[in-house]
Structure 1
Amino acid sequence: MTFPLFRAILPFALATTLPPMLTSCGSAPDTGSNQAAAAPAEPISDGTVKLTPQQIQAAGILLVRPTVGGGAGAIELPATIEGDPQGIQIVSAAIGGRVVALSRNLGETVRRGDTLAIIESREAAQLKGEIEASRARAGLAQSQLRREQRLFAERVSPEQDLIAAQTAATEANIALRQAQQQLSAAGGGGGSLNRLALPSPISGQIIARSATLGQTVVADAELYRVANLSTVSLSLSLSPADAGLVRPGAPVSVTTPGRQGSARVTFVSPVLDAQTRLVPVIATMDNRSGQWRVGESINAAIALPGRSGGQGIAVPQIAVQSIAGKTVVFVRTANGFKAVPVKVGAPSGDRVTILSGLTGNEQVAATNSFTLKAELGKGAGEEEE
């Protein structure tokens, strides 16, 4: 019975509530649109998108700094510190046995060749026994060779006996060297006939020790891990477009709360990563002070080469978006991003000049900035509902 009355009231309610709602959502009358476009930067209704650093990384949003003057700015992105592949070595025995001595603990500094552990093994005894037997055979063969040389010189023995003695001595020496190399491949000496010493392959610091005194270990089991981290690497991933702007030797600024450093790009891969479809980039950083640790996440800023004759402020064209009839860029804030209105000038290559709205000190979203526009639009749609 009340349905006709509801239909009569509904148009009046929409007429009184819809204009304020449109105003709160950032809509403006058509008559003022030209004035808004011509005016300097002015705030858009809220215009903020809240994102955590993890969400920014997951969305693939690349942060860059605007070009100031003739420079080309920098590409800012998260990175991970990795050890030099030549600077981390595993110490293991090629044969199994029982650990009877451990001479180094975690954190201790070692030099190349220092003995780290000694194991007892029947195989070690066999290898050393073979060396002793080969050495004895080699000595006997050398003695026979000297005898035949003397007899041949006195014209007592024929030449064929001398040749046979020379051959036997050569074969005995080869067998001795082979036995010695087998022991060396297993880890080296160790004093007693059945003991094997394991030396450090590099100079550095003990970063892992998995062996226990008295433990029986199998062949190739890891006993120690030695690292020389005086130089570390940064593992970065760039889009193909951004990687095209980076060259080996480019400086990289490294920052993390309370610390900062510098690195140099040493490798830009010519092949995309099969999983991420991004370009792997490696930078090398001095770490003789020991302040950077493998596996640590840091922020890296790759400086781009400058362009001669450039003036003012410029950003990549992909950083510029259009929202509610206004040209904006998304500036990084403490909690995410904020759409900042800007006035743009003529484009130059892949960049566009910013006439007003930015100071040049901001971080702006470049690659995948359209996702922020979509997120902002979704928020506006929810408000309208």
Structure 2
Amino acid sequence: MTLQTFRAILPLAFATTLAACGGAPTTGNEASAAASTEPASDRVVTLTPQQIEAAGILLVRPTVGGGAGAIELPATIAGDPQGIQIVSAAIGGRIVTLTRNLGETVRRGDTLAIIESREAAQLKGQVEASQARASLAQSQLRREQRLFAERVSPEQDLIAAQTAAAEANIALRQAQQQLSAAGGGGGALNRLALSSPIGGQIIARSAMLGQTVVADAELYRVANLSTVSLSISLSPVDAGLVRPGAPVSVTTPGRQGTARVTFVSPVLDAQTKLVPVIATMDNRGGQWRVGESINAAIELPGKSGSPEIAIPQIAVQSLGGKTVVFVRTPTGFKAVPVKVGAPSGDRVIIVSGLIGREQVAATNSFTLKAELGKSEGEEE
């Protein structure tokens, strides 16, 4: 994201102030304030959570005691793709019965609707005709077997009867499968029943009694929401730190839960240029709803036994000749001076300045630095 884009997103609310030594104290992360020994370098950027998200600023937690911290970002609850099924009409016809409504619980195989159709009559008629032909062919086969055993009928007639019986059975199975694919059941010759393919809850119903529907028209949508998914988007750099199986902490006002990463896409989303990540979460209690926005914290792997505090290298900025990181405060961010040690892969060790409980800006933290520099230039 360019500086111009960042300023276009936040033209009015992005206010920067300098905290004077004798002025009022700046609201912020108390732990970070205590750790900073250079109050003259504390600089504050006021920003709302919505503006932080719009600016693409990613929040992470430092490594403490060998962990690699966590990536915190907003996410959305989605239904498990394998747990949502559409019930559609395989043939056109008129709906004469609807047995379930929105919110009702169904079991697999429960009848949801009955359709009356001429095509249904043809399919059922084919089944009954095939059953009659198969029954006749079996009767003729038994007769030929008896005559051949008595040496009255030649073997050729027996072979012909066996072939006719086999062909009749094949035609019967084909007719039955066509009827089953259309729905089957329904009672009368011209009626077909549509059943639920899975057990779950009715979450959508577009069908109306007496409505004429075409083939493949959606009538119901059934969802088994005992397991839900989290839809998360990460930058390529951050996605490289996440592996399937990584635990995810899920929070929203009044609720919290845990999930686990099941998929990290090897391909960027064509529109957002971010990496889609999927995590699954138990929802047998029904407290999470599809489409709900939540906060997700993906825990990153680290080396055991290491007491150092580490953060992503992209979170470290140089400001006024000092090395700083931007720590999240209730009103935005504060530039906190730190002393860095040796780098470790994509991360850097923090010798002093942080205690590990802070949230720091990683991706796009340079825009915070640029805005501070701009503000100071204007004041001079």
TM-score normalised to structure 1 length: 0.86
Equivalent residue letter for 1:258: G
Match of 2:146 among 143, 150, 155: 150
Matching of residues 43-192 of structure 1 within 5 Å: 43-44=39-40, 47-192=43-188
**In structure 1, how many angstroms separate the alpha carbons of the residues matched to 2:328 and 2:18?**
22
Equivalent residue letter for 2:163: T
In structure 2, the residue matched to 1:259 is: 255
Which SS does the other structure have where 1:263 is aligned? strand
Match of 2:330 among 317, 327, 334: 334
**In structure 1, how many angstroms separate the alpha carbons of the residues matched to 2:150 and 2:161?**
16
In structure 2, the residue matched to 1:218 is: 214
**In structure 2, how many angstroms separate the alpha carbons of the residues matched to 1:58 and 1:40?**
29
Matching of residues 272-283 of structure 1 within 5 Å: 272-283=268-279
In structure 2, the residue matched to 1:291 is: 287
Equivalent residue letter for 1:145: L
Q: Is the 8 A contact 1:40 1:343 kept in 2?
A: no
**In structure 1, how many angstroms separate the alpha carbons of the residues matched to 2:36 and 2:291?**
45
**Structure 1 vs Structure 2 CA RMSD:** 2.1
**In structure 1, how many angstroms separate the alpha carbons of the residues matched to 2:158 and 2:286?**
64
Shift of 1:174: 0.8
Equivalent residue letter for 1:166: Q
- Larger of the two Rg values belongs to structure: 1
Which SS does the other structure have where 2:285 is aligned? coil
Residues 193-247 of structure 1 deviation map (CA, whole Å, 9 limit, x = unaligned) = 0111000000000001111111111111111100001111112122222222222
Residues 170-207 of structure 1 deviation map (CA, whole Å, 9 limit, x = unaligned) = 11111111111111111121101011100000000000
Matching of residues 25-36 of structure 1 within 5 Å: none
Which SS does the other structure have where 1:242 is aligned? helix
Change in CA separation of 1:98 and 1:382 when aligned onto 2, cut-off 3 Å: farther
User: Structure 1: 5+ residue runs without aligned partners?
Assistant: 1-23, 29-38
Change in CA separation of 1:347 and 1:42 when aligned onto 2, cut-off 3 Å: same
TM-score normalised to structure 2 length: 0.87
In structure 2, the residue matched to 1:8 is: none
**In structure 1, how many angstroms separate the alpha carbons of the residues matched to 2:360 and 2:60?**
6
**In structure 1, how many angstroms separate the alpha carbons of the residues matched to 2:343 and 2:42?**
28
Q: Is the 8 A contact 2:42 2:336 kept in 1?
A: no
Q: Is the 8 A contact 1:44 1:339 kept in 2?
A: no
**In structure 2, how many angstroms separate the alpha carbons of the residues matched to 1:160 and 1:332?**
91
**In structure 1, how many angstroms separate the alpha carbons of the residues matched to 2:77 and 2:36?**
43
**In structure 2, how many angstroms separate the alpha carbons of the residues matched to 1:93 and 1:159?**
49
**In structure 2, how many angstroms separate the alpha carbons of the residues matched to 1:320 and 1:243?**
19
**In structure 1, how many angstroms separate the alpha carbons of the residues matched to 2:98 and 2:232?**
39
User: Structure 2: 5+ residue runs without aligned partners?
Assistant: 1-16, 22-34
Match of 2:315 among 302, 307, 319: 319
Equivalent residue letter for 1:217: V
Which SS does the other structure have where 1:64 is aligned? strand
**Percent of matched pairs sharing the same residue:** 87
**In structure 1, how many angstroms separate the alpha carbons of the residues matched to 2:42 and 2:369?**
13
Q: Is the 8 A contact 1:315 1:351 kept in 2?
A: yes
Shift of 1:156: 1.1
Q: Is the 8 A contact 2:107 2:200 kept in 1?
A: yes
Residues 121-151 of structure 1 deviation map (CA, whole Å, 9 limit, x = unaligned) = 1110111111111111111111111111111
In structure 2, the residue matched to 1:359 is: 355
Equivalent residue letter for 1:345: G
Equivalent residue letter for 1:336: G
Q: Is the 8 A contact 1:27 1:324 kept in 2?
A: no
Q: Is the 8 A contact 2:72 2:298 kept in 1?
A: yes
